[in-house]
Structure 1
Amino acid sequence: MVERVLATDTALALIEQLKGKHGPVMFHQSGGCCDGSSPMCYPDGDLIIGDQDVLLGEIGGAKFYMHKNQFEYWKHTQLIIDVVDGRGGMFSLEGVHGKRFLTRSRAFTKEELDELKIK
């Protein structure tokens, strides 16, 4: 089955490092504003997930959410979470490590969209 969200090996390694320090973690794709549109990493449960949030999947054992309004724009793409050097969102756990998570994406193929039942 096609996955809506994946992570690079570099991102998976950083997730493991963060879990070792903070325990279980979770992600929420930021919709903009102060931190831009970045995947934000929090200790699991620190961000209240509501009925307006969509669970896209898991990366490195961490649940990955996005607000449903933003999901409407992204539903035709697969998110690929990567890591680059630099400072990310000030509330995201990786910031103190001089790294930041970065969302890359690619459009799903017609076959993948059919599998996901997206029109």
Structure 2
Amino acid sequence: MQRKRFAEEQIIAVLKEHEACAKTADLAHKHGISETTETGLCENRRTVSRKAVEALVLKGIEEQLATPELIAEYVREYQRMSRELNSSTAHRRRRPGGATRPRQRRHLKGGRCPVGR
């Protein structure tokens, strides 16, 4: 059931409703107006389910990301960043001159040591 273009009176009536602050989406729904009926540009009215689109997108992503070259590049970058992070944290732990900080014991009030009893 294909509908012809709207009559001039119908178009004027819809425009008057819109001028009276009616929402465009409400008017389109009420009068059966859509972009495809107005422009007539869309010849492909086939609908595709969301699950089918998601499956196609996931398949494409898997094909793009599962290449051995990309995985090898990721592993190299991960190892480089890991080495960089480890060297920067190790630098913060060392004292100048290679000396290590002596361990300090905490004493409780009264001069008793909490360890060893």
TM-score range, shorter chain: under 0.3
Q: TM-score, normalised to structure 1's length? A: 0.21
More strand by share: 1
User: Larger helix proportion, structure 1 or 2?
Assistant: 2
Asked which structure has the greater CA Rg, the reply is: 2
**Higher RCO (CA-CA < 8 Å; seq separation 6+):** 1
